[in-house]
Amino acid sequence: MKMCIACGMPMKAKEDFAMGDESKDYCRYCARPDGSMQSYDEKLEGMTDFIVRTQGLDKAAGENAARGMMEKLPAWKK
């Protein structure tokens, strides 16, 4: 099973993929409206907001966690 290189989400169904294109390595949540992949900064902001919104973490702690998570993902690995 493919995993999104930018956020780690498993991608099984066609609609999980960016623009429903199964040849893509990233998911629909990591795509911009035009289908291209979001930048590091866009993804970091999105992930931080999501963590704060759904888990209630402190913003700085949430951003720190998001940075840590992203470091492990293929798209952002140094």
Report if residue 10 touches other proteins, rule: CB under 8 A: yes
Report if residue 13 touches other proteins, rule: CB under 8 A: yes
60: left (phi over 0), alpha (psi -120 to 50) or beta: alpha
In sequence order, which ranges of the chain are alpha helices (DSSP H)? 40-55, 59-71
Report if residue 68 touches other proteins, rule: CB under 8 A: yes
Q: Do residues 65 and 47 touch, judged by C-beta distance below 8 A?
A: no
**Contact set for other proteins, span 44-63 (CB under 8 A):** 47, 50-57
Q: Which residues bind other proteins (CB under 8 A)?
A: 8-10, 12-13, 15, 47, 50-57, 65, 68-69, 72
